[in-house]
Structure 1
Amino acid sequence: MTIHIGAEPGQIAETVLLPGDPLRAEWAAQTFLKDPVCVNRVRGMLGFTGTWQGHRVTIHGSGMGMPSLSIYANELIRDYGVNTLIRIGSCGAMQESVELRDVIVAMTASSLSTPSSGIFRELNFSPCANYELLAAAVSSARTLKTKYHVGGIYSADVFYDERPDLNEIMTRHGILGVEMETAELYNLAARHGARALAVLTVSDHLLSHKSLSSEDRESSFGDMVQIALEAAFAPAE
């Protein structure tokens, strides 16, 4: 047990999927895992462990924003021996070619700052995904015939952003979408020698201002979870 995770030793798998919303963790576990068991309820941040095609996997909420994710990712890696972490979440599109319900596989994650910024100091460290996971996710998306995009995303510090100038610059430089967690996840994975990836579903669009309803979001996230699971357990080449 840790300060924020009540699971006993051995109750969390070496592979963890990380949705921000704990209720989405519950939905994904009940939908995709065999015999899921709730292993954490501390502060309402639900975590479930079960099996997928014979592989043990945990689906655990991470909360909103990089500080919250940093807490859970740190404890999962350091205290529970997790070595593969895949964020499954929603994002806002920043390119005309990206549409609602599309899947974004995040190769890199830009940010203004992260909880790790104090360590890097003057260094502009470039956090990126694990290539094996990324390649496997792309292969899975192709097999599922899911419309997907691979490239850089932006991990924001705030949800209610008032920097249209910054958004315009990122759009000009090809940033595919914006969310609030991935940059710190990639930082922590690099620091601790773990594998990390973010597979995101586009739920709203910064340019067209279109968005999915809460019901549409849930029904549209199945491909993202399937892609993440297939990537996590893809055979090594």
Structure 2
Amino acid sequence: MTIHIGAAPGDIAETVLLPGDPYRAKWAAETFLSDVRQVNAVRGMLGFTGTWNGHPVTIQGSGMGMPSLSIYVNELIRDYGAQTLIRIGSCGGMQDHVGLRDVVLAMTASTVTSPSSTIFREVNFAPGADWSLLRAAVAAAEAKGTRTHVGGIYSSDTFYDERPDLNEQMVRHGILAVEMEAAELYMLAARYGRRALAVLTVSDHLITGEALASEHRESSFGDMVEIALNAAFPDAR
């Protein structure tokens, strides 16, 4: 048990999926896992462990933003031995060819700042996804026929952004989408020698202004969860 995770030793699997929303963690666990049990409810940040095709999997909410995710990922790695961590969440499209409900696989994650920024001082460290997970996720997406994009994303530390000039530069430099957590996940995975990937569903679009209605979001997120699970266990398909 840690400050923010009330799971007992052995309750957390080596493979962890990380949605930001704790209720999305509950939905994903109940929809995709077998023999599910709740292992965390500290501060309402729900976590569940079960099995997928015989493989133990934990789905743990991580909250909104990099500081919140950093707390959970640090504890999952240091105190529970998590080895593979895959963020599953929503993102905002930033290119014309990226549409609603498309899946984005984040090869890199740029950011202005994160909880890890002070460690690197003057160095702009460039965190990236684990290649084996990324390759397996691409294969899983292709097998499902899911419209998928692979490339760089932007992890913002503000939700109500007032920097249109910065967004313009992200678009100009080919950034596919924006979200709020992946860059710190990739930094922590690099620091601790773990595997990490962000598998994201486009729920809104910064250029067109389109957005999925809340009642349509979860039904559109199933592909993302299946791709993440197949990436973690490519031999189980």
TM-score (ref. length: structure 1): 0.99
In structure 1, the residue matched to 2:183 is 183
In structure 1, the residue matched to 2:169 is 169
Displacement of 1:234 in angstroms is: 1.5
- The residue identity in structure 2 corresponding to 1:128 is G
1:49-76 deviation line (CA, Å, top 9, x unaligned): 0000000000000000000000000000
Question: Matches of 1:182 and 1:119 in 2, distance apart?
Answer: 17
1:112-137 deviation line (CA, Å, top 9, x unaligned): 00100010111100000000000000
In structure 2, the residue matched to 1:25 is 25
Question: Matches of 1:108 and 1:235 in 2, distance apart?
Answer: 25
Displacement of 1:235 in angstroms is: 3.8
In structure 2, the residue matched to 1:100 is 100
- The residue identity in structure 2 corresponding to 1:99 is G
SS, match of residue 16 in structure 2 = strand
SS, match of residue 142 in structure 2 = helix
Q: Is 1:230 matched up with 2:227? A: no
Question: Matches of 1:235 and 1:116 in 2, distance apart?
Answer: 34
SS, match of residue 187 in structure 2 = helix
In structure 2, the residue matched to 1:39 is 39
- The residue identity in structure 2 corresponding to 1:137 is A
1:26-63 deviation line (CA, Å, top 9, x unaligned): 00000000011000000000000000000000000000
Could you list the runs of 5+ residues in structure 2 that have no partner in the other structure?
Answer: none
Question: Matches of 2:17 and 2:197 in 1, distance apart?
Answer: 10
- The residue identity in structure 2 corresponding to 1:225 is V
In structure 1, the residue matched to 2:132 is 132
Displacement of 1:138 in angstroms is: 0.3
SS, match of residue 203 in structure 1 = strand
- The residue identity in structure 1 corresponding to 2:100 is L
Question: Matches of 1:148 and 1:215 in 2, distance apart?
Answer: 22
How many residue pairs match? The answer is: 236
Q: What percentage of residue pairs aligned between the two structures are identical?
A: 74
Could you list the runs of 5+ residues in structure 1 that have no partner in the other structure?
Answer: none
- The residue identity in structure 2 corresponding to 1:83 is Q
Question: Matches of 1:186 and 1:47 in 2, distance apart?
Answer: 21
Question: Matches of 2:29 and 2:196 in 1, distance apart?
Answer: 19
Q: Is 1:146 matched up with 2:146? A: yes
SS, match of residue 134 in structure 2 = helix
SS, match of residue 234 in structure 2 = coil
In structure 2, the residue matched to 1:109 is 109
Question: Matches of 1:146 and 1:97 in 2, distance apart?
Answer: 14
SS, match of residue 29 in structure 1 = helix
Q: Moved runs in structure 1, 4+ residues, more than 6 A?
A: none
Map 1:61-72; keep pairs closer than 5 Å: 61-72=61-72
TM-score (ref. length: structure 2): 0.99
